[in-house]
Amino acid sequence: MQLWSQKLSQQRTESTAMPINIIAQSEFTHARDITNKILRAELKQAFGINGRRLDNFTLAGLAAATKLHLNAQRPITGLIGCAEYFSVELLQSLLLDIDAANPIRPLDFVATVGNAANYYIAKEFNVTGLNLFIGSSDNSEAKLLQLAETELMANQHQTLLLLNWHEDSNQRRCKASLVDYVA
């Protein structure tokens, strides 16, 4: 956690002229082979998250944001998410349904879009401002900070939630940062 914070601060210093205050950070990681049912039960017990109908990708983001919000209880006015991929499990499920000639459920279709995770998280935290999801394979933290700077320059009285998902063959991780403008 400390290494990630140092990396963000270094990237912010190297890539920006405008100061951004990193209010708080958190991270949530889970094993890739955990079932959705088990992950939902763990998150309900740990954070009170009702994750019914949410995929593991969204649940990881919701858990990271909830951990962050518990430590820094400030209203979130905007959300920027970033990942190298979209929801793998639901995309596979959608493709299997298509192959089996099953009707496509609207919620499954919507959840394959990267913004769906942001939608659910924004809804959970009553975010009414910016809600943006991008895909990025390189320098995702720096890109998130750059987008945050752009938004904060336009409206300096915001508190933005930045979510950054990473996945490898063993685990899925979502890092969350709460940032605002430093006058």
Q: Provide the domain limits for residue 160.
A: 2-181
Q: What is the CATH number of the domain that holds 7?
A: 3.40.47.10
State the pLDDT at residue 106: 58
pLDDT in tens, 164-174: 998 888 999 99
Integer Cα distance of 132 and 136 in angstroms: 13
Integer Cα distance of 131 and 127 in angstroms: 8
Integer Cα distance of 44 and 90 in angstroms: 21
pTM score: 0.77
Q: Tell me, what amino acid is at 150?
A: T
Closest CA to 160 of 150, 169, 148, 174: 148
Integer Cα distance of 11 and 139 in angstroms: 9
Say how far residue 52 (Cα) sits from the centre of its chain. Answer: 18
Q: Which residues of the chain have pLDDT under 70?
A: 1-18, 85-92, 94, 104-114
Q: How far is CA 154 from CA 9, 24, 30, 82, 149, in A?
A: 22, 22, 36, 21, 9
Integer Cα distance of 105 and 107 in angstroms: 6
State the pLDDT at residue 16: 45
Strand partners, 179: 22, 160
Total number of domains constituting the chain: 1
pLDDT in tens, 78-109: 999 988 755 556 566 767 777 788 876 655 55
Q: How far is CA 90 from CA 95, 98, 129, in A?
A: 9, 12, 27
Please, which residues have CB within 8 angstroms of residue 70's CB and are 6 or more apart in sequence? 47
